[in-house]
């Protein structure tokens, strides 16, 4: 976890780290159970088995919990992408886009609270779940971290105007997945495939790579 608005103190000792993870786990489970609007810090504390004051030691309340949970989800996505990329013999931008869609879909299906605290959320206020990035082209931390992973770790070639490209791709994927998962936990496979095809075609055009 990095320092970000809404997080008052970062845990250092193992006991505190475990306590914060328990709080975030409780928050994620409650998001699935009661939804974002009905979520309260008091209920998070009760489900985590800690006093309410303990939550406020680390977070400024509900906004801080949401930001920390969104950042944890982003870290989890990157772990999944590293695992997937390691199995690819010749990765391309179109294939990378497909992998990101596939792993995001799996997280929506399996990770508690992910459908609410989706870091690419297009609902009003959704973007505030993650801290701002540093790039002058928009300051989107999700776009920055995904692009850095693709180029620096996965070895993909640089793209022109990368942060605008990544921001557009993220927002496009978010809309497709919001439509796919509307009213269903597992998502509409046909709509998911439409999103995959759209992102693949976009990155094939940008990169000039129409292969796998």
Mean pLDDT of the chain: 85
Domain range holding 119?
91-207
Q: Are 130 and 119 in contact (CB under 8 A)?
A: yes
Does 144 map to a domain? Answer: yes
Does 84 map to a domain? Answer: no
**pLDDT of 33-62, one tens digit each?**
988 889 999 999 999 999 999 999 889 888
Confidence of residue 124 (pLDDT cuts 50, 70, 90): very low
pTM to 2 decimal places: 0.84
Does 180 map to a domain? Answer: yes
Does 17 map to a domain? Answer: no
- Our count of domains for the chain comes to 1
Q: What is the CATH number of the domain that holds 158?
A: 1.10.357.10
């Amino acid at each position: 976890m990095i320092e970000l608005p809404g997080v008052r103190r970062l845990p250092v000792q193992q006991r505190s780290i475990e306590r914060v993870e328990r709080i975030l786990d409780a928050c994620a489970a409650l998001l699935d159970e009661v939804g974002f609007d009905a979520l309260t810090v008091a209920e998070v504390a009760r489900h985590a088995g800690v006093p309410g004051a303990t939550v406020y030691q680390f977070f400024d309340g509900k906004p801080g919990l949401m930001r920390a949970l969104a950042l944890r989800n982003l870290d989890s996505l990157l772990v999944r992408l590293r695992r997937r990329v390691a199995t690819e013999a010749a990765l391309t931008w179109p294939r990378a886009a497909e992998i990101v869609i596939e792993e995001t879909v799996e997280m929506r299906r399996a990770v508690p609270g992910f459908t609410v605290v989706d870091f690419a959320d297009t609902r009003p206020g959704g973007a505030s779940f993650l801290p701002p990035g540093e790039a002058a082209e928009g300051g989107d931390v999700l776009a920055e971290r995904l692009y850095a992973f693709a180029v620096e770790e996965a070895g993909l070639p640089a793209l022109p105007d990368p942060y605008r490209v990544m921001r557009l791709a993220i927002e496009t994927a978010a809309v497709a997945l919001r439509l796919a998962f509307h009213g269903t936990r597992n998502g509409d496979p046909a709509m998911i495939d439409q999103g995959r095809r759209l992102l693949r075609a976009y990155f094939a055009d940008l990169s000039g790579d129409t292969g796998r």
